[in-house]
Chains A and B, each alone.
Chain A
Amino acid sequence: DARVTQTPRHKVTEMGQEVTMRCQPILGHNTVFWYRQTMMQGLELLAYFRNRAPLDDSGMPKDRFSAEMPDATLATLKIQPSEPRDSAVYFCASGGQYTEAFFGQGTRLTVV
């Protein structure tokens, strides 16, 4: 059963620390997305990649967030330095041109 795998599932960190979230997309999917979910803003698209190339990261705060795909099996989202307002659930999803998006279980980030 193919699925998107995200690690860690939960992360508690202190303000100012670096946070790295990882995602393993479904094999064969050429598009990877990072979403953030909060009560106030709902689901926001942060960035997405096609064939490992970044296509759109306009949803990300550029000064502290970065997203990369070092290879086809790994996508990362980093926050440095983290702030309390970054507390949210971060979802990775993968899909394709004619394939719907499949979501991971999310990383619940708490910045204290």
Chain B
Amino acid sequence: AQSVTQLDSQVPVFEEAPVELRCNYSSSVSVYLFWYVQYPNQGLQLLLKYLSGSTLVKGINGFEAEFNKSQTSFHLRKPSVHISDTAEYFCAVSNTGTASKLTFGTGTRLQVTL
């Protein structure tokens, strides 16, 4: 069984400030890791994914994440946020047998203000 923990339900941040959204996972097998973003009244859109290779993964909209196997973490970062980054962010894990079968965290609401 797998699980994902997003410790922060809400993260308020000022525009142009850096942000980190935390994600920890638990799994007894090798995993793939994902971050999805959900804007209001929209579906989930893939931000970035870690399947293998370099542990630093770059995604869309200037986001990046680092896979840390020893700490079972996959934290999402952006050096300078914009108002348009306000959204719900979900961390998800799948096993390497089926990349698309996801276990989601509870989500982190990123609120960017001026």
Query: Is the pair B45, A94 in contact by a Cβ cutoff of 8 Å?
Result: no
Taken together as a complex, chains A and B put the C-alpha atoms of A42 and B91 apart, in Å, by 12
Query: Is the pair A91, B99 in contact by a Cβ cutoff of 8 Å?
Result: no
Q: Determine the residue in chain A with the shortest Cβ distance to B34.
A: A100
Q: Which of A29, A42, A95, A96 contacts B107 (CB 8 A)?
A: A42
Check: B69 CB closer than 8 A to any chain A CB. Answer: no
Mark out the residues of chain A between 47 and 95 whose CB falls within 8 Å of any chain B CB in the assembled complex: 48, 91, 93-95
Q: How many residues of A contact B (CB 8 A)?
A: 24
Answer whether A99 and B104 are a contact pair too, CB < 8 Å, given A91-B43, A91-B44, A105-B42.
no
Query: Is the pair B99, A98 in contact by a Cβ cutoff of 8 Å?
Result: yes
Interface of A is mostly: strand
Check: A33 CB closer than 8 A to any chain B CB. Answer: yes
Taken together as a complex, chains A and B put the C-alpha atoms of A108 and B107 apart, in Å, by 19
Give the residues in chain A near B51, CB-CB below 8 Å: 98
Answer whether A42 and B99 are a contact pair too, CB < 8 Å, given A100-B34, A100-B46, A103-B45.
no
Give the residues in chain B near A102, CB-CB below 8 Å: 46
Q: Determine the residue in chain A with the shortest Cβ distance to B102.
A: A101
Q: Determine the residue in chain B with the shortest Cβ distance to A102.
A: B46
Minimum CB–CB distance from A30 to chain B (whole Å) comes to 9
Query: Is the pair B104, A100 in contact by a Cβ cutoff of 8 Å?
Result: no
Mark out the residues of chain A between 9 and 61 whose CB falls within 8 Å of any chain B CB in the assembled complex: 29, 31, 33, 42-43, 45, 48
Check: B97 CB closer than 8 A to any chain A CB. Answer: yes
Answer whether A94 and B43 are a contact pair too, CB < 8 Å, given A43-B90, A100-B34, A100-B49.
no
Q: Return 13 A-B CB contacts under 8 Å, by A number.
A: A29-B100, A42-B104, A43-B90, A93-B100, A97-B100, A98-B51, A98-B99, A99-B99, A100-B34, A100-B49, A101-B99, A101-B101, A108-B41
Residues of chain B having any CB pair with chain A under 8 Å: 32, 34, 36, 41-46, 49, 51, 90, 97-102, 104, 106-107
6 tightest A-B CB contacts, nearest first: A95-B100, A103-B43, A101-B100, A103-B44, A43-B104, A105-B43
A-B contact sample (6 more), CB < 8 A, given A96-B99, A99-B100: A95-B99, A95-B100, A96-B100, A97-B100, A103-B43, A105-B43
